[in-house]
Amino acid sequence: MSGSLPVIYLLDLFGVAVFAVSGSLSAGQKRMDLFGVVVVALATALGGGTLRDVILGAHPVFWVADTLYLFVAAGASLVTFVLARFCDFQGRLLKTADAFGLALFTVIGTQKALHLGIAPEVSAIMGVMTGVAGGIIRDMLSGEIPLILRAEIYATASLCGALTLVVLSLLHLPVWMSVIISMLVTLCLRLAALHWRLALPVFPARRERVEP
Amino acid sequence: MSGSLPVIYLLDLFGVAVFAVSGSLSAGQKRMDLFGVVVVALATALGGGTLRDVILGAHPVFWVADTLYLFVAAGASLVTFVLARFCDFQGRLLKTADAFGLALFTVIGTQKALHLGIAPEVSAIMGVMTGVAGGIIRDMLSGEIPLILRAEIYATASLCGALTLVVLSLLHLPVWMSVIISMLVTLCLRLAALHWRLALPVFPARRERVEP
Amino acid sequence: MSGSLPVIYLLDLFGVAVFAVSGSLSAGQKRMDLFGVVVVALATALGGGTLRDVILGAHPVFWVADTLYLFVAAGASLVTFVLARFCDFQGRLLKTADAFGLALFTVIGTQKALHLGIAPEVSAIMGVMTGVAGGIIRDMLSGEIPLILRAEIYATASLCGALTLVVLSLLHLPVWMSVIISMLVTLCLRLAALHWRLALPVFPARRERVEP
């Protein structure tokens, strides 16, 4: 997808697999059947990038151009479906992998938008969208208020990484260096938030008592 | 829409009407007002195809190019709104008609993607998307977990029909023949699932007791 | 955005700000954190126009082409976040401003579609979509059945304004005159509905007792 960095492509596929696993687990908790689980997994893994490409008018959409994304997401979902009987995915490992996926998707989304000549501030938004929209779609399909809008420094970590990449690109650093630094910014912020349970201030709810 | 088969066009309009009726009934159960019902009906009937066309970059979107779809969906919704006072749509008839709509939308979506030169596996996904996305949007607008992700062999029937069409197209059968066969695959699977209450295995929920 | 009328551009930005405030308040009631609030605000303020531009294939999408929309929406959201501690936005003022935003977005959306040479009936739908989709997205992100599908003459007011603009455009009135008249139609209908609590008939619910 990035063209210049084959390692990014492999990491991107890994991110797709991680997000597919998280979508499968979320769908499974709602007692969806096999195919419902795969649908939610695909939407989680490919939804953010699809939204980015559609809004940017960057056709063909990445998984239409390269169907390996589709097979990786579907495969990860099926493996999860089978393995969920035997092991517990919900622990620290999944959250760490998810943080890794968030960092990757954010940076890849931002980089793709910059590469298409999109304005820097819009590119940062596109990076955040690529990183978080999949998780929002997952939660909406599962009938829940999107967790990541409430969770510890999730979208915020994504935004910081995206802004870092935008700034480093304006400074004309080599692409591989800015990509790695920005990825680390998101990853470290998110892992730190998970580890120390950091959180942003919550909206001051003057009226919460009168809400049903 | 298919260009080559006028009968498909008529069947497609029939599918739009059926899905508009199902959207109207779902919205009505949530006590939406007249126009809310029409909005949900339009989203249900046109949402799947719109998503397909937007992701494929196939502009103009089908109902922008041919506004008859719009009028059929709105008309079916208004008629439902009036008739719901007098009769009960929720029975076997609606489910059978819905299975018919699912089969039609799946095959038409797959065929349109193949016709645009999209890769076969992506075309099958586009067919499933055309068939099931409308129902997912309907349930999300109604504040429910999408039923079709849990129901008896719904998306699965759609996938089988789409894959059948893709395989038959690779075998260079005449279009009309592959279209009819694939449609029958989806239709029969779905009707059989309804009749014998068949279902796919549900996700193994090791953790269901701790979920709220 | 309209090209011909700078005043429309300023009003459009005002509409974006109003919708961002309403999105922030809705997210805040769900106890989202700072950035979750901003995400919901952006989706509420920019979602309707984005959907319109994506469906019409009108790239670049308006806020990608002109990032001032982005900054106005984000700024309004942050200001709301800070001020919500001190004052109560939920009263008559917000509903009146929201009616104003609805009228503006509807007319601007319809006008943009007509300007692109879209068929009149589709242009009216695009106007309604621009006006109401943001609010629908807001409610779905907040885990609620979209209020505007149930509320007093909301989408209906939007439709009436859009149809008025379409008819006046076919009569070749000057753009500024048709824009103002259509805007007043939506605004007056919505304000009247709020003031006298007018409502459309609700779907006849024969089966409401058996619904859970």
Contacts of residue B207 in chain A, CB cutoff 8 Å?
29, 88, 90
Evaluate if pTM is beyond 0.95: no
Q: Does residue A204 surpass a pLDDT of 60?
A: no
- In whole angstroms, give the CA distance from residue A58 to residue B4: 30
Which residues on A lie below 8 Å from C37 (Cβ)? Answer: 203
Q: What is the pLDDT of residues A34-79, one digit of tens each?
A: 778 888 899 999 999 999 999 998 888 999 989 999 999 999 999 9
Q: Which chain B residue's Cα is nearest to C158? A: B35
Q: What is the mean pLDDT of residues B39-57?
A: 91
Residue-level pLDDT at B211:
36
Q: Which of B72-81, B85-94, B99-108 has the lowest mean pLDDT?
A: B85-94
CB-based contact C138:C45 (threshold 8 Å): no
Q: Do the Cβ atoms of B159 and B79 come closer than 8 Å?
A: no
- Contacts by B56-62, CB closer than 8 A, 24 or more apart: B56/A59, B56/A60, B56/A61, B56/A64, B56/B113, B56/B116, B56/B118, B56/B126, B57/A57, B57/A59, B57/A60, B57/A61, B57/C57, B58/B112, B58/B116, B59/C56, B59/C57, B60/C56, B60/C57, B61/C55, B61/C56, B61/C57, B62/B1
Q: According to the model, what pLDDT value does residue B209 have? A: 38
Which tens digits make up the pLDDT trace of B60-69?
899 998 999 9
Whether pLDDT at B4 is above 90: no
State how far the alpha carbon of A17 is from the alpha carbons of A45, A86, A162, in Å: 7, 19, 21
Residues 6+ apart with CB under 8 A from B6: none
pLDDT value at residue B2 = 43
Average predicted confidence (pLDDT) for chain C: 82
ipTM given for this complex: 0.81
- Of the two residues C44 and A98, the one the predictor is more confident about is C44
pLDDT classification of B210: cutoffs 50, 70, 90: very low
In the predicted model, is pLDDT for residue C100 greater than 60? yes
Average pLDDT of chain A to the nearest whole number: 82
What is the model's pLDDT at position C3?
47
**Is pLDDT of C127 > 90?**
yes
B149 to A24: CB separation less than 8 angstroms, yes or no: no
**Closest residue in C to A125 (Cα–Cα):** C70
Q: Which residue has the higher pLDDT, C101 or C209?
A: C101
Judge contact between A48 and A129, C-beta under 8 A: yes
- Confidence grade of residue C209 (pLDDT, cut at 50, 70, 90): very low
Q: Could you read off the pLDDT of A104-142 as tens digits, one per residue? A: 999 989 998 998 888 998 999 999 999 988 888 888 887
d(CA B182, CA B131): 13
Instruction: Please give the pLDDT value at position B212.
Output: 34
A115, two tokens: 């590469």
Give me Rg for the CA atoms of chain C.
Answer: 17
Partner residue facing C60 (CB), from A57, A125, A128? A57
Residue type, A105: F
Can you give the pLDDT at residue A1?
A: 42
